[in-house]
Structure 1
């Protein structure tokens, strides 16, 4: 098989249940990404009273969390290219959920700071891979719209978490930990991941055209069963591979 023509075969598909399920799955991960990103901010005032945390310490943990996000966003693209979009999306979601869960058992501001840095790395990495995943699976005509849908749904996680925190944090001296357990609930994403497809375009980028074609046939069969016969895809235009851009140029 010289080429599986993934881009054109995906672009000619009408939006179907396959796309809507993918949107729900990615939005679920986004929701808990946004739910978890401000967890420390909602619990810090309580920790000031319980642990005697200073404003400087709050600032350090917050700043280091952004360092974790920077590292996660840099590494995420490399991981997605090496291990695949679906696998990396699942791994990064499990990563940030795991360390959000561990944050609930922090014993001082230093341990909590370390756990938040690790959590933030996973949060940022998940965001990067989710954008790649949607861009490669959705038709070009609606790609931007569905990326926006995923983020709009996901960003609702921030006010929902703030509302939950306003109720649970004041209950007693340990209830602030429930905010981090709530952020860890995103681990349920692995149930969605079982039905998600790997990106055929990623398979193509690795030269695995047979695997790309197999996934495309599954997607096409699912969409055709719902929407009827599919139009023929455009014929790919052969072009020279784009040269790699240097870091200095960027």
Structure 2
């Protein structure tokens, strides 16, 4: 439970920080006299940083450990967020958003790898859903903070970025409470501390009356070199997961990051737009909870396909309606189901790669999605300029539908399977599997 709380707190701060720009954008645009294209550049700078963070964080986590990089990345993005509040102008602010994005995505990617390796195979999806649900509180919290702080004056938006630096607190807690991944320790020759951790956890569970199954003994896991990502098995998985993340990110951020700005362009004033956005920001928390009963029950790739289709329908209504109530309801449903799908994808991505490639493999897929985020700023700005509010959200509906089709058609089955079986080696020993079996 302590792990779940710490990881959820890290995820909360990560989501809060990445949302700071979305909710501050209208005020920044007014304060610095920016065009919508200028805002697109800021969004793209953030995503370019996230691309770098996805690759660098994943690779460093494979080499130096999940826990170490997770804590360092969280502290880094928090400091950069606070510095963003002090930016004297547009150029410095854009550079700081790049650095913040790098830290944020390194945190997210390594957090997912850590959770997949440290929680039971039969329930790791549910653990992730709980963490994402609790972490999702970061979005309404930052939306509420923006609603209170932005109207205070011309510099009110700067305090929103100070709030975004709260990630320093769970970073310290993580350093105190989180152990290193059992799988990572074992494959890097640190078997003794890994076994000691497993033994301690098993004793704790036994003392609480939990009957543990017999441990499943397997051969030692082979180490995979980086070049093996080009093998037929892992190349296909890398391409498929990357394509899905590109389409999913374009849709997710095309919807969530531009709602407040485009509502203003549609005729709502800034206060109304922020109020509607704050209401929609509550949906992701419920969306992650909505994933709880299905994420470990049904195959992830098919679950994602169904969710993507439902999101597309909700986005169509959001794009076409002129009724305010219908707009809010459709937007809420779209945001809710987008987050449910995010929980499914976040469980799926790290599962399809072996331990020594898990950080970089899932990092490449996440990084591809973040490069799409770079393009997203320009794409949405261009679509908005030509087709306005309706055109933007019709576009996001098509993109999310394509993401579901690709994963349904070309993905691999992962639900309830041991990580080594998914990797395809069939020979992998894992004290982590002993750990997860005992905690199921």
Q: TM-score, normalised by structure 1?
A: 0.85
Q: Does the CA contact (< 8 Å) of 1:94 and 1:187 recur in 2?
A: yes
Shift of 1:150: 1.2
Task: Name 1:145's counterpart in structure 2.
Answer: 126
The whole-number CA distance in structure 1 between the counterparts of 2:222 and 2:61 is 23
The whole-number CA distance in structure 2 between the counterparts of 1:77 and 1:219 is 27
Alignment of 1:245 onto 2:228:
yes
Correspondences of 1:143-182 after superposition (within 5 Å): 143-182=124-163
Shift of 1:228: 4.7
Superposition RMSD on alpha carbons, in Å?
2.0
Alignment of 1:205 onto 2:187:
yes
Q: Deviations over 1:111-134 (max 9, x none)?
A: 111111100111111111111111
The equivalent position to 2:69 in structure 1, one of 88, 104, 124, is 88
Shift of 1:160: 2.0
Closer, same or farther: CA 222–193 of 1 in aligned 2, 3 Å: farther
Closer, same or farther: CA 237–55 of 1 in aligned 2, 3 Å: same
Correspondences of 1:174-193 after superposition (within 5 Å): 174-189=155-170, 190-193=172-175
Closer, same or farther: CA 70–188 of 1 in aligned 2, 3 Å: same
Task: Name 2:295's counterpart in structure 1.
Answer: none
Alignment of 1:123 onto 2:104:
yes
Q: Does the CA contact (< 8 Å) of 2:54 and 2:106 recur in 1?
A: yes
Task: Name 2:17's counterpart in structure 1.
Answer: 36
SS where residue 208 of structure 2 aligns?
Answer: helix
Q: Does the CA contact (< 8 Å) of 2:84 and 2:97 recur in 1?
A: yes
Larger deviation: 52-61 or 126-135?
A: 52-61
Larger deviation: 135-144 or 46-55?
A: 46-55
Larger deviation: 181-190 or 39-48?
A: 39-48
Closer, same or farther: CA 67–240 of 1 in aligned 2, 3 Å: closer
Correspondences of 1:14-53 after superposition (within 5 Å): 20-53=1-34
Q: Deviations over 1:132-167 (max 9, x none)?
A: 111111111111111122112212311221121011
The whole-number CA distance in structure 2 between the counterparts of 1:201 and 1:173 is 50
SS where residue 43 of structure 1 aligns?
Answer: helix
The whole-number CA distance in structure 1 between the counterparts of 2:138 and 2:229 is 37
Shift of 1:239: 7.0
The equivalent position to 1:220 in structure 2, one of 177, 186, 202, is 202
Structure richer in helix, relative to its length? 2
Task: Name 2:214's counterpart in structure 1.
Answer: 232
The whole-number CA distance in structure 1 between the counterparts of 2:68 and 2:221 is 29
The whole-number CA distance in structure 2 between the counterparts of 1:110 and 1:95 is 20
Which consecutive aligned stretches of 4+ in structure 1 deviate over 4 angstroms post-superposition?
Answer: 237-244
Closer, same or farther: CA 241–183 of 1 in aligned 2, 3 Å: closer
